[in-house]
Structure 1
Amino acid sequence: MKGFVAKVLLLLMIMVLGASCVSRKRIVYFRDLEERKALVDSVQNTFKIQPDDLLSIEVSAYDLNAVRPFNLGGGSRLPTDGPSGATTSTQQGYLTAQDGTINMPVLGTIKVAGLTRAELSDLLVKRISEYVISPIVTIRIMNFRVSVLGEVGNPGTFNVQGERLTLPEALGLAGDMTLFGRRDNLLVIRDNGTTKDYKYLDIRESSFLNSDYYYLQQNDVVYVEPNYAQIQGSSFNRNTTLYFSIISLLISVLVIAFK
């Protein structure tokens, strides 16, 4: 009997040790990066303005009085002391309407949804140049945010300063993936206004760095799917621990009885 019990314990130990050995390829990010001497960044951050985006539009010029009518609040900053002598106004926000428009002083209603910041800046410079010599337009997204859900340390919605956010940076904001998250099937859902696109990414492979989803956009949702072990664990019978305790007790009783 003692020999049988010893064999059972040895088998259980082997099973535990085998289950604890996890392949590096299943966990490590960018596992093939060392195979590449250089990685060309062929992806551009083509962020486009969407409804409900809060835009900071700041018009600058050499003459403070000339740009004052084009800024919210009329511009309250004093001229700068920089070498160019350019002046700027206070920063306030334009909320993009559901029809994709904003209403600016003097210029009136302007369609902005679907444009990049650079495209909108060029458009406004062209329009304002009819009134002001050499205007400078600076645009910033004030409510850029993404959501990271699933098997991460700190899931939630995160507000981001600026609009250049990569997928690894978003995972970092969420406390990184847990060991139970699937690194080969990361889902990114993107709202393009009238449609929603999605992409599954394998972040273990460095090729995802050249994906169109490497740079996140406003309102993107990142979902980290749980791996098989975690899914199985979620359906684990709550009484299983009790059953194991009872079995262990019975084995102990049998060992004592057959001494």
Structure 2
Amino acid sequence: MKRSQIVKSLQVVLCVFLLSSCVSRKEIVYFQGLEEAGERLEQNQNKSLAIKPNDLLTISVSAPEQAAAMPFNLPVVGMPETSGPLALSPQGRQQLQTYLVAKDGKIEFPVLGEMTVEGLSTQELASKLKKDISEFVQDPIVNVRITNFQVSVLGEVNRPGTYDVTGEHLSLPKALGLAGDLSIYGERSNVLVMREVDGKKVYKYLDLTNPEILESPFYYLQQNDVVYVEPNSAQRQSASYNRNAGVYISIASVLISLAVLLTR
């Protein structure tokens, strides 16, 4: 093979490589056209997290006269020398007992008895309890919190795992941020979110590059949601390649260089 033919072949290979490695902005950048979707984000943000069966709740009741509020708090277990809703753990930290929401969506609350909490937000439950307790206690203060809010982020992210959430609002981008964001091999236009609704598994594929994601009920995550980022086409194709392909390419490059030198 003549030297000119070899050089032309190398140029063709190089051009094909460069063209195949180009990635458009549309495939990578999140929330394109976001300026048109600000109002939709605000509307979606107003939705509160709803309490579900198997949730763990901490509920504390206080009042100016704390003794009057004590019957509405869970008793301390294993700490007979302590009274009140708070107990010191072996590490010296204060720890509240939790209410487990039953499968029928109910809890057993001191004095008030059985009540349905499923479907309520923590703010709604606190308001309901405050109203009911006000019949017995003057100016009660009620705080409700979901303590088992976790999400799992799997697939093509930099730190896959299960993450505890301290607040009650966790967006999909923030969850991905906890996991170190998508790797360069993550498919940004087809992120899967799975959750359980009324005992059934439901799912939705979301496009991170599309601002319409802000309107989705899956944009804000709920307890025990699972997020899966699938590999993009380049990563799927590379999975079928021989792991020694890089070595073979290097050897081929050396052989081509030698051929060029010998044909001078």
TM-score w.r.t. length of structure 1: 0.85
Distance (Å, rounded) in 2 between the aligned partners of 1:151 and 1:37: 27
Partner residue, 2:23: 22
Distance (Å, rounded) in 2 between the aligned partners of 1:76 and 1:153: 40
Offset at 1:146?
0.6
Task: Select 1:58's aligned residue among 57, 60, 70.
Answer: 60
SS in 2 for 1:216: coil
Q: Is the 8 A contact 1:142 1:162 kept in 2?
A: no
Partner residue, 1:227: 232
Offset at 1:96?
2.2
Offset at 1:13?
1.7
Which deviates the most, 37-46 or 178-187? 37-46
Q: RMSD of aligned C-alpha atoms? A: 2.4
Distance (Å, rounded) in 2 between the aligned partners of 1:119 and 1:235: 53
The answer to whether residue 84 in structure 2 is matched with residue 75 in structure 1 is yes
* Unmatched segments (≥5 aa) in structure 2: 77-82, 87-93
Task: Select 2:123's aligned residue among 109, 118, 121.
Answer: 118
Which deviates the most, 47-56 or 219-228? 47-56
Q: Is the 8 A contact 1:58 1:90 kept in 2?
A: no
Q: Is the 8 A contact 2:37 2:214 kept in 1?
A: no
Runs of 4+ in structure 1 over 6 Å off? none
**CA 1:125–1:90: 2 relative to 1, 3 Å:** farther
Cα displacement string for residues 87-123 of structure 1 (whole angstroms, at most 9, x for unaligned residues): xx97332222334332222223333223222332233
Offset at 1:255?
4.4
The answer to whether residue 206 in structure 2 is matched with residue 201 in structure 1 is yes
SS in 1 for 2:30: coil
Q: Is the 8 A contact 1:51 1:193 kept in 2?
A: no
The answer to whether residue 8 in structure 2 is matched with residue 7 in structure 1 is yes
Distance (Å, rounded) in 2 between the aligned partners of 1:126 and 1:47: 21
**CA 1:171–1:3: 2 relative to 1, 3 Å:** same
Distance (Å, rounded) in 2 between the aligned partners of 1:155 and 1:103: 37
Within a 5 Å distance, the mapping from 1:87-236 to structure 2 comes to 91-236=96-241
Offset at 1:248?
4.1
Q: Which amino acid aligns with 1:6?
A: V
Identical amino acids, percent of aligned pairs: 51
* Unmatched segments (≥5 aa) in structure 1: 78-88
Offset at 1:62?
2.1
Q: Which amino acid aligns with 2:26?
A: K
Offset at 1:75?
2.1
**CA 1:121–1:37: 2 relative to 1, 3 Å:** closer
Partner residue, 1:46: 48
Which deviates the most, 209-218 or 149-158? 209-218
SS in 1 for 2:212: helix
TM-score w.r.t. length of structure 2: 0.83
Q: Is the 8 A contact 2:37 2:212 kept in 1?
A: no
Offset at 1:39?
3.1
Distance (Å, rounded) in 2 between the aligned partners of 1:117 and 1:37: 28
Offset at 1:256?
5.6
Q: Which amino acid aligns with 2:84?
A: G
Q: Is the 8 A contact 2:152 2:225 kept in 1?
A: yes
Offset at 1:139?
0.4
